[in-house]
Amino acid sequence: MKVYGLIGYPLSHSFSKGFFAEKFSREGIQECIYDSFPIPAIDELPALLAQQPELQGLNVTIPYKEVVIPYLDELSPAATQMKAVNCIHFKDGRKIGYNTDAIGFRRSLEPLLKPHHNKALILGTGGAAKAVQFVLESLHIPYKLVSRQASADTISYEQLDTDTMASHTLIINTTPLGMYPNVTAAPAIPYDQLTDRHLLYDLIYNPAVTTFLQKGADRGATIKNGHEMLILQAEASWEIWNQQ
């Protein structure tokens, strides 16, 4: 039996277990199971690996995409650049880290891009934001990082003025604000300055329309949630785990 799974904490919101159970059933994939492994601290990972000798691959979610790296033997070039891992392949006794968030995000974003979506705001600075930064850099779309407090690398929500909002027509939420069950929360951007030229992308997929996205839609903006990205990153993980 080949075992795959997901580490993070908590995992009540996880999409992956259901996705892979359905995939295995639909595609007639046998002798494989996918399970959730909620570990309260990343230093519990070695014990989990010892308990699960049949593990072939793991996905990694909040809050471990960055702190898992010291536990790995090798990183793909993209994961090295992003300093974030959401996929681990166990191969020949080695633990190899990849980032399929970037693959999923790019494949789901590109069809929506218009020529005027040439500057972006990335809301949040965590592991998921690293994948978004990587993709925007590869697409040659300059961006600003937005955080609660300004720093050398970020601007604060309070600094989002009229000019910035007008010129940065692609806005990506990488924070958990608005995720179930806290569905009324939303990043503190000036929503009244959104227009039909804006594209709002939320990495959250539950609920399907977050408050962030709804406020954008109310102003005529194009909106996209993270569901397709999740499917695409999961499929990319499966490809990695089964490569020769």
Residue range(s) occupied by CATH 3.40.50.10860 in the chain: 2-99
Write down the pLDDT at residue 230: 94
Taking only the tens of pLDDT, the chain with its 244 residues reads 999 999 999 887 678 999 999 999 999 999 999 999 999 999 999 999 999 999 999 999 989 999 999 999 999 999 999 999 999 999 999 999 999 999 999 999 999 999 999 999 999 998 889 999 999 999 999 999 999 999 999 999 999 999 999 999 999 999 999 998 999 999 999 999 999 999 999 999 999 999 999 999 999 999 999 999 999 999 999 999 998 6
Q: How many CB atoms lie within 10 A of CB 68?
A: 22
CB 233 within 8 A of CB 101: yes
2 is an active site residue: no
Buried b (16+ CB within 10 A) or exposed e, 219-230: eebbbbbbbbbb
Rounded Cα distance between 125 and 147, Å, is 7
Count of C-beta atoms within a 10 Å radius of residue 101: 36
pTM for the full predicted model: 0.89
Report, at the CATH architecture level, how domain 103-228 is classified.
Answer: 3-Layer(aba) Sandwich (3.40)
Tokens coding 76: 């793909």
- Report the distance separating Cα 105 and Cα 76, nearest Å: 17
pLDDT given for residue 128 in this prediction: 87
- Pinpoint the residues of the chain covered by CATH 3.40.50.720: 103-228
**What pLDDT does residue 168 have?**
98
Write down the pLDDT at residue 46. Answer: 97
Which one of 17, 23, 65, 83 is the catalytic residue?
65
What CATH number should be reported for the domain whose range is 2-99? Answer: 3.40.50.10860
**Long-range pairs, 215-218, Cβ under 8 A, ≥24:** 215/186, 215/191, 216/171, 216/191, 218/191
